[in-house]
Amino acid sequence: MITVSSLNQNRSILFKLLSSNKKIVLILIFLGILVLTSLFAITCGNFNIEFSDIFSVIAANISPFTDIESVNRLHNTIIWKIRLPRIILAINVGIALSISGAVFQGCFKNPLVEPYILGISSGAAFGAALGILFPSFFLSVQALAFCFAFIAVAAAYFLAHTRGETPIIMLILAGIIIGSIFSAFVGIIKYLAQDSALREIVFWLMGGFYYANWDDVILISPIIFVSFSIIWLHSWKLNILSMGDDEAKALGVSPEKFKFLFIILATLSTAVAVSCVGIIAWVGLMMPHATRMVMGPDHRFLIPVSAIFGAIYLIICDTIARTLVNAEIPIGIITSILGAPYLFYLIRSRGASAFGG
């Protein structure tokens, strides 16, 4: 016998399935927009490129049946060696910063948290500045930036960890303390640096894809892909962690264990991205908020769409940075100019609802 309650239950399940299917369609649409944005970005620049040239150059480089000599050598250099690795690197960095922002906001239950909250940016800046100032005595700038980014987060976590637990407030405060210490170290290095080294440090701090190449893409893509995959696989646990530690324990999820896992993966993604391109602000703060406005707070959909939005946003910002004027503008300036008004608009138009209130 069919009861009213069973009908209501079946209707609820149907609505959830329809809602999920709608979100999957939206994800596919956003992926299509990402592909179109990438292709359009390749055509932008001082040297005009046609869409047909893009496909012929890519086919010549990846297909064993096409001879590389069959394509224009200049087109091959511009597309394959300059613009394509730069755009793929921007996609990777956008994914890394966006999913890290979503993870930190979910773990900390704070919508104003960003990937640099635990001192990653300050630690990476100190490592990079050290490598620039003393190139003969230390590792490469990229390796030092990565190492000190991890050291900063490890120090913050160790400082906040007490009695087998890591309270969120303590972790945020520890991150602020560690970040301030490394910022002071960066200030000392900038004070000691000569003009050429100081200029290079300042440009690194503002972020940019000036030296993007296939080596960087090959280095960071597997790390970011693996981190993204694990985070997405366990994204439903982020939904539980967002409810609070007591609720997570009641549902059988260890908050300490999974917070540590998520923070490590987010730190790994952010550190490897920052070590390659410098500090790019606002992406990890903005993109999760933009995604919540479209997809809602469910991290199963929030994580992949934040990654797509971050990739699209960084491609657009990088294209503006390299085409707006003759000299390239550091992308950190572009993201800050666009990011601050967006957050102001979000506060004024959506109020507390935009931040989960």
* Residue 155 scores a pLDDT above 70: yes
Q: The whole model's pTM is what?
A: 0.90
Q: What residue has token string 């869409």? A: 51
Distance of alpha carbon 17 from alpha carbon 15, whole angstroms: 5
CB of 238 within 8 A of CB of 299?
yes
CB of 191 within 8 A of CB of 159?
no
- Sorted by where each starts, the structural domains of the chain and their CATH numbers stand as 22-38+50-345 (1.10.3470.10)
Residue among 240, 314, 236 at smallest CA distance from 273: 314
For the segment 147-173, the average pLDDT, to the nearest whole number, is 88
Burial call 205-223: b when 16+ CB within 10 Å, e when fewer: bbbbbeebeeebbebbbeb
Distance of alpha carbon 98 from alpha carbon 286, whole angstroms: 8
Over residues 265-303, the pLDDT tens digits come to 999 999 999 999 999 989 999 899 889 888 888 899 999
List 165's β-bridge partners, or say none: 162
What pLDDT is recorded for position 144?
A: 93
Position with higher pLDDT, 252 vs 225: 225
CB of 191 within 8 A of CB of 282?
no
Q: Alpha carbon of 295 to those of 50, 137, 303: distances in Å? A: 35, 49, 10
Give the orientation angle of helix 4-43 with respect to helix 283-295, to 10 degrees. 140
DSSP tag of 165? B
Q: Which amino acid, residue 211?
A: Y
For the segment 148-154, the average pLDDT, to the nearest whole number, is 94
Confidence of residue 164 (pLDDT cuts 50, 70, 90): confident
CB of 71 within 8 A of CB of 57?
yes
Residue among 295, 332, 301 at smallest CA distance from 317: 332
CB of 47 within 8 A of CB of 75?
no
Q: Alpha carbon of 147 to those of 31, 138, 206: distances in Å? A: 33, 12, 19
Residue 8's Cβ-count burial label (10 Å; 0-12, 13-18, 19+) is: exposed
List 162's β-bridge partners, or say none: 165
Tally Cβ neighbours within 10 Å of residue 308: 23
Distance of alpha carbon 27 from alpha carbon 34, whole angstroms: 10
What pLDDT is recorded for position 4?
A: 44
Confidence of residue 138 (pLDDT cuts 50, 70, 90): low
Distance of alpha carbon 212 from alpha carbon 148, whole angstroms: 21
Distance of alpha carbon 19 from alpha carbon 214, whole angstroms: 40
* Residue 14 scores a pLDDT above 50: no
* Residue 22 scores a pLDDT above 90: no
* Residue 351 scores a pLDDT above 90: no
Q: Which amino acid, residue 307?
A: A
CB of 320 within 8 A of CB of 334?
yes
Over residues 71-115, the pLDDT tens digits come to 888 988 999 999 999 999 999 999 999 999 999 999 888 878 889
DSSP tag of 348? H
Over residues 31-53, the pLDDT tens digits come to 999 999 999 999 998 888 888 88
Q: Helix, strand or coil for residue 70? A: helix
Distance of alpha carbon 90 from alpha carbon 332, whole angstroms: 12
Q: Alpha carbon of 11 to those of 7, 8, 16: distances in Å? A: 6, 5, 9
Distance of alpha carbon 140 from alpha carbon 50, whole angstroms: 37
